Structure 1
């Protein structure tokens, strides 16, 4: 695999002048600076300023964190922090799941607090603790659980951007620590703000994030689940990050195939990826406006005749009828 990684890195160098590389340093965990790539945002994408504006009644702020470790059987963590405001208070619903052979719920915390100036932030409540970094942003999320402490630390930015549907998103290096030890990996942070009465922008989205034991990673994001939904891919190979907006969908999961299989190609890099969802999936419909599913995935990659496997997490939003 070492030679494949070298070849892939050469491919990156050859095309980096022609592809958009997301290198903004802002994120939900260590500063949320403005994106450095305005061309990635469509004309209908909401401005980022409302996320940081004074809170208003009837708003919903969500932060979603997904972590994938670098192990042969990687540690998986999925956290969702929902802040909803009304005229008198901010209502928190913080939930989390740890993924191994099965998905295990580790956090379900509800609380109501006076509305803060920054309603978009993850707030300390119950077992949730925050360590602040530069600009008052949290650099660590700590969960004081019955079985011990679980700590998620940001270890540096890979890239950040605004999605076509208005989400602020970032990919970071991270470390997850629990009573059994520490695991390094990749962290995807996604942040949205909307009025509670408004439907989510852009319909149900989908993403896959996988890593290998050498520290490489692959993130595939789709703005929807239809065959013509835009696809963007981020690669992290040999500590070199690149964004690819010319990914091709070769095959989509069948409606009766759950979690499903997907095939993608990066023509410029000569990379093929087949992603297979691994049951059981975590399916949640607690939100009356829409649910989501999270599942383990295995990715079979082929580059210049050589193949290897990455593992990680897949997630898909669902619109409830």
Structure 2
């Protein structure tokens, strides 16, 4: 039996007690934590949609997009930014605009090079960027799971495809939506997540509510086309080289999965938001399961609270 088949069988036996994979139509449901997104827009609010894509290649394509909508009494002010990650992080989008306040102020709005196709519930099903070097298109290809974070964010994990002038790459897409008053600090502490994939189409998403050793950790696995959520994971920061974004040990005891995650320089560090910045970086994860080892690659991100 091939290694990845054995991997899927091993996880399948564990998943029997974890329930069935989430149905795709769950993505369109409106849950209590998502209600601020659906309410009438109010002045002095900030709505953010964050999209991160990781391809399945040996050197995966990485894309990080942030769409900020800020409202006042007269208009909605857009700041849409995006970066493509390879050996270096390259800015591909920086668009600012002011428009009349729409009814659904939380949605990504068409402006400049940005075009949007919305699915059920208004979530973006496709994001199209008309760039000087050609068109870049990010398509959602189906839901893996969706949830509300402990800090009130609406989050989802999807199958996706990224297309540009050179071709198409399949992978995983993490979507995060938040709404808050502009005067309020971001909810919770400086959160952190890692999303990695391999060439067989498997994926791992690790999300932390903070960076302290006792911060809650939640994990989603996508192995052999089966999704599961885990809440008993352990993650610990390790010593790292001075130029590295970081290094972490990871353990999922119930599944017997171990990993070491290493951040790869250079990191993208952004402090444009005076209340809080963020950093994004490439990561490599060396995993071990049932005596077998393999590597996943992808993206790491960390929010930063600015003084």
> Conserved in 2, the CA contact under 8 Å of 1:27 and 1:170?
no
- Number of aligned residues: 307
C-alpha separation in 1, matches of 2:10 and 2:29: 20
The answer to whether the 8 A contact 1:66-1:77 is kept is: yes
Q: Any conservation in 2 of the 1:22–1:161 contact (CA below 8 Å)?
A: no
Taking the aligned partners of 1:48 and 1:136, their CA distance within structure 2 comes to: 12
Normalising by structure 2, we get a TM-score of 0.89
- Asked if 2 retains the 8 angstrom alpha-carbon contact of 1:31 and 1:135, the reply is no
Show the 5 A alignment for 1:65-104: 65-104=51-90
Q: Which residue of 1 aligns with 2:50?
A: 64
> Separation in 2 of the partners of 1:285 and 1:30?
44
Please report how far the alpha carbon of residue 50 of structure 1 lies from its aligned counterpart in structure 2 after TM superposition.
Answer: 1.4
Establish whether residue 181 from structure 1 lines up as the match of residue 181 from structure 2.
no
CA distance in 2, matches of 1:180, 1:27: 40
Q: Is the 8 A contact 2:26 2:145 kept in 1?
A: no
1:209 aligns with: 195
Q: List per-residue Cα deviations over 1:72-114 (Å, max 9, x = no partner).
A: 0000000000000000000000000000000000000000000
Task: Give 3-state SS (helix, strand or coil) of 1:159's partner.
Answer: strand
The answer on whether the counterparts of 1:24 and 1:161 sit within 8 Å (CA) in structure 2 is no
Please report how far the alpha carbon of residue 254 of structure 1 lies from its aligned counterpart in structure 2 after TM superposition. 6.1
Gap regions ≥5 residues in structure 1: 1-14
Instruction: Sort the Cα spacing of 1:171 and 1:41 in 2 relative to 1 into closer, same or farther, 3 A.
Output: closer
Cα displacement (A) at 1:139: 1.4
Question: How far did residue 69 of structure 1 move?
Answer: 0.1
Q: Tell whether the 8 Å contact from 1:227 to 1:252 is kept in structure 2 after alignment.
A: no
- Relative distance call for 1:220 and 1:76 in structure 2 (3 A) is same
Using a 3 Å threshold, how does the CA distance of structure 1 residues 137 and 225 change in structure 2: closer, same or farther? closer
Q: Which 10-residue stretch deviates more, 43-52 or 169-178?
A: 43-52
Worse-matched range after superposition: 37-46 or 291-300? 37-46
Instruction: Verify: 1:166 aligned to 2:152, yes or no.
Output: yes
Change (3 A) 1:149 1:40: closer
Summarize the Cα distance change of 1:138–1:253 in structure 2 as closer, same or farther, 3 Å threshold. same
The answer to whether the 8 A contact 2:56-2:171 is kept is yes
- Of stretches 225-234 and 75-84 in structure 1, the one that deviates more from structure 2 is 225-234
Residues 22 and 145, structure 2, Cα contact 8 Å, conserved in 1: no
Shift of 1:47: 3.4
Mean Cα deviation higher: 25-34 or 142-151: 25-34
Q: Give TM-score scaled by structure 1 length.
A: 0.85
Partner Cα separation in structure 2 for residue 121 and residue 28 of structure 1: 38
Is the contact made by 1:40 and 1:162 (CA closer than 8 Å) also made in structure 2? no
Equivalent residue for 2:185, pick from 189, 196, 199: 199
Moved more, 227-236 or 29-38: 29-38
- Ranges of 4+ aligned residues in structure 1 off by more than 6 Å: 15-46
| CA shift in 2, pair 1:40/1:258, >3 Å | farther
1:37 Cα deviation after fit = 13
Superimposed CA distance per residue, residues 153-188 of structure 1 (whole angstroms, 9 cap, x where no aligned partner): 000000000000000000000000000000000000
Contact 1:249 1:263 in 2 (8 A): yes
Deviations 1:219-240 (A, max 9, x none): 0000001111000111000000
- Structure 2: gaps spanning 5 or more residues: none
What SS does structure 2 have at the residue aligned with 1:20? helix
Q: 1:202 to 1:253 in 2, by over 3 A?
A: farther
SS of 1:242 mapped into structure 2: strand
